[in-house]
Structure 1
Amino acid sequence: MSPPLPVPQQFLSDAPLGTRVVVRYRIGGGLTDALGELVGKSDGGCTVRTRRADVVIALELVVAAKEVPPAPPRRAPRPAVS
């Protein structure tokens, strides 16, 4: 039997697809965050759909992860000033 996963990795493994999450993970030279919908999971990683792209994150690089509330509705564009 394999040892239990650290808390952030366990959260990502257990969270249902479609959950809005923020994931902090290591990159060369520091840390970064991915904020979006959890759209994929595998034994070694997860995929978060951000506003810009799908981000594939290796679980071994994750240092923190949690569920976040839905995004607020986008504002309507301001009218042009004449």
Structure 2
Amino acid sequence: MSTSTPLPPQPPRAFLAAAELGTRVVVRYRIEGGVTDALGELVARTAGECTVRTRRADVVIPLPLVVAAKEVPPA
């Protein structure tokens, strides 16, 4: 009898690198004094940063500061 083990969650940077542009995401990243979240559409990415279009503005997030990221359903 075989048992299947769940796959570990994908690291946040790997998720952001693989996600299609236009995907609705939430990205938690470090800021001075703690962490904050950006919720919106993934609109751009490079090897060093990603851009999330939130309701207020485009937020450019350096990837080394990302601590969590995942896809979220439409608003």
Report the TM-score range of the alignment, normalised by the length of the smaller protein.
Answer: 0.7 to 0.9
Task: Give runs of ≥4 in structure 1 deviating > 6 Å.
Answer: none
1:32 is aligned to: 36
1:63 is aligned to: 67
Structure with larger Rg: 1
- What is the aligned length? 66
TM-score normalised by structure 2 residue count: 0.86
Q: Deviations over 1:1-44 (max 9, x none)?
A: xxxxx710000011000000000000000000000000001000
Q: Displacement of 1:52 after TM fit?
A: 0.0
Q: Which has the higher strand share?
A: 2
Pairing 1:49–2:53 present: yes
What's the Cα RMSD here?
0.9
Task: Report sequence identity in percent.
Answer: 76
Q: Which runs of 5+ in 2 are unaligned?
A: 1-9
